A and B are shown apart, each in its own frame.
Chain A
Amino acid sequence: MSGRPPLGLLARFTSAEQIVAAAKLVAAQDYRAVDAFSPFPLPELSEALRASAAGVKWCVLIGALVGALGGYLMQWYTAVHAYAFDVGGRPLHSWPAFIIVTFELAVLGGALAGFFGMLALNGLPRLNHPVFAANGFQLASRNQFFLLIESRDRKFDPKRTRELLDSLGAAEIVEVESE
C-alpha cells in the first residue's frame, strides 16, 4: 500500500443539491476522472458527470433482435426442414403461428442482455473496491453523497484538489488508498 499514490480524494456531502452543484463545478474545471456515489439515482448528477447509458440500450436492442431472429429461424428450420409434418395439407412455413414464440424469445433475449450487459458495463460483480475502505462510506447507501476525484486525472493535485472540494462545501474529505 505505502509508496503507491492514493486512488483519489473522496468528499462527503450531506445533500443532493450540494453534490449536484459541486459536480457541476468540478466538471467545469475540466476534471475527467470523477465519480459520485449516491443512495438513489440522481439524473442531474449523472448529467453533470456525463454518465452514459448508450451501451446498455444497444445491449437490449441486440439481445431482443438475436432472440427474435434466433427464435424464428429455429421454428422455421425445425418445422420446414428437420421435422416436416404435414397436417391436413397446411403450409409447413406457417409463419403466423410462429409469431408468439418469436415474441417471447425477443423479450427474453432483450431482458437477459440488458441485465447482464448492465452488470458487465458496470464492472460488477466486484465484491471489493477501494472506496469501501474509506471512512463513513457505508452511508452512501443511507443518506450521504460522495464525490471521488481520482489521482490519475491530469488536473489532480493533492493540495489544490482538496482546496477545491473544501470550497464546495464538503462535510469531510478523505484520501482513498489504491488497491
Chain B
Amino acid sequence: MSAERVSVLKPGETYASATDQISALVLTEPTRRTWVLFFVTSAALAVVYLYAITAVFAIGVGLMGINIPVAWGWPLVNVVWWIGIGHAGTLISAILLLLRQPWRTSINRFAEAMTIFAAGIAGMFPFIHLGRPWYFYFLLPYPNTMTLWPQWRSPLVWDFFAISTYILVSILFWYQGLIPDLATLRDRARTRRTQLIYGFLALGWRGSIRHWRRYETVYLLLAGLATPLVVSVHSVISLDFAVTIVPGYHSTIFPPYFVAGALLSGFCMVITIAVPLRRAFRLEPYITERHFDVMAKVMLSAGMVVIYSYAVELFTAWYSGDPFERGMLVNRALGPHATLFWIMLAVNAGVLQLLWLKRVRTSIPMLFTLAIVINTAMWIERYVIVITSTQRDYMPSAWGTVSETHYDWALLLGSLGLFFFLMCLFIRFLPVISIHEVRELIHEQEEQRS
C-alpha cells in the first residue's frame, strides 16, 4: 500500500479514539463561541430570507426585478447555482463510493448534508418565482375535479420530478449512512434525553452482521442509483433552457456544461465548509491536506470541462452563421453586463489555472480564498446565462433588461444565511464525520499494513 493512501487519516487513530472524538463533538463538547457567532449571524440572515419570501408571497413577484423580457431573473440564477452546489455532495458520497476512493470517508457526511440543504433551498426558488405559489400542486399528477393532468412534454414537469426525486433520494442516502452513527451516539450518550432521542432515531440498530450485510448492499445500490440521478438532475434543469428557442439557451452543450459547472461550484462549497469546520473542531486527523489536494484536482478537472463548454458556445455561435446567436455573444461580451462576462471568464478560465500548482492546492488559506472567488464567479456565470440571453433576443423592439431590487439581494443573501444556519444545526446535533466508515477505514489500513 502506498504511503499516499495512508495519509487519508493521520496515523495512530484507533476505533476507540475515532469513535470517542467524533461523538464527543456532539455529546460533550461545550458550545464554542465561533459556533455561536456563525449561528447567530446565519440565523439573522435566515430571518431576512423569511421576511423577503413572505413579502414576495403576500404582495407579489413584482417586488423582484423580474420583468418581460427577462422573466426568469435572479430566482432562476439562484436555482441553478444552489442545485449545482448540492451536486458535489452526491458526487462525493455516491460516485466516489463506487470508485472506492478512501478519501471520501471523512467528508461525505457533511457534503451530503450540504446536498440536502442546497437542493432544498434550490427547490424553493421556483416556488418563489411562481407568482401564485399556492398553485404549485398543478405540477402533481392526481385525479382532480378539473380533469387536468400535467403536460408531460414540458421540461418544467420533468424538473419537478427530477428535483423532488433528488431531494428524497439524498435524504434516504444520508439517513441510512447516519443510522449506525446514531446508534453510536445512543450508546455514548450520558443523559436520558439524548439517549432517548438518538435511540429513537437509530431505529434500534445493534450492529448485527446480518444487518450490516443488507445495509452495505443497499448502500451500494443507492449509490448506483444516485449516480445517474445526479447527472440527470442538472441535465434536466439545463433542458429548461435548451428546449426553448432563445439564442444563448438553445444549445446542445448545456447538459454536460451544467453538470461540470455544478461540480466546480459544489466542490468550492465543500472546501468553504471544510476549512472552518476542520479548524474549529480540530478535525485535522480526519480531514488532511490530502483531502484538499484531491478536491482541488476535482475542481480543476470540472473547471476544464466548463472552459471547454465556453469555447463550444463561442465556436457554435460563430460557426452557425446565425445572426441572432452571434448577436447574443456580442451582447454578452460588449453589452450592458459585459463586466460580469469578463469577470466570469477571468476567474473560471484564468484564476482557476492556479490549481495546477501543488503549492496552491495544499495551501489552505489560498484554496479557501480561491473556492469563495470561483464560487462567486460561478454565480456570475449563471447570471450571464440566464439574463444576457433573454435580454436581447430576436426583436430589438422587445429588448429590455433586469433591474434587481433589494428583494433579490435579500433572497440571495438570505438563502445563504438559511444554508449556513442549517449547517450550524447539523454540526451541533449530528456527527459531521461518518464514524463507522472511519472505523472501517482504520480496519482496512491495519489489514493492509499487516
Contact = CB atoms under 8 A, between A and B. Distances in A.
A125 to B, nearest CB: 4
A79 B148 CA distance: 10
A118 B436 contact: no
Interface string B130-163: 0000000000010000011111110001100110
- Where chain B touches its partner, the secondary structure class is helix
Interface residues of B, number: 61
* Shortest beta-carbon contacts, A-B, top 9: A143-B15, A125-B203, A78-B149, A53-B217, A138-B187, A51-B213, A41-B212, A40-B440, A83-B149
B209 A35 contact: yes
Interface stretch (B220-228, B347-355, B386-394): B220-228
Interface of A is mostly: helix
Interface in B185-239: 186-188, 199-200, 203-218, 221-222, 225-226, 228-229, 232, 236
B358 interface: no
B15 to A, nearest CB: 4
A174 to B, nearest CB: 15
A101 interface: yes
Interface centre among A39, A43, A53 (most CB of B within 10 A): A39
Contacts of A152: none
Contacts, number: 191
Interface string B266-306: 00000000000000000000000000000000000000000
Given A37-B209, A46-B210, A141-B188, 7 more contacts: A40-B436, A51-B214, A97-B152, A111-B168, A138-B188, A141-B19, A142-B16
Interface in A28-45: 35-43, 45
A129 to B, nearest CB: 6
Contacts of A64: 225
A107 B217 contact: no
Given A78-B150, A100-B162, A128-B204, A142 B19 contact: yes
A74 B200 CA distance: 37
Contacts of B212: 38, 40-42, 46, 51
A121 interface: yes
Contact of A82 (B14, B147, B221): B147
Contact of B207 (A38, A49, A56, A75): A38
Interface in A108-125: 108, 110-112, 114-115, 117-119, 121-122, 124-125
Contacts of A39: 15, 19, 184, 207, 436, 439
B419 to A, nearest CB: 24
Interface in A12-41: 16, 35-41
A114 B188 CA distance: 29
Interface string A126-153: 1111011000001111110000000000
A170 interface: no
B222 A121 contact: no
Nearest to A47: B213
A42 B209 contact: yes
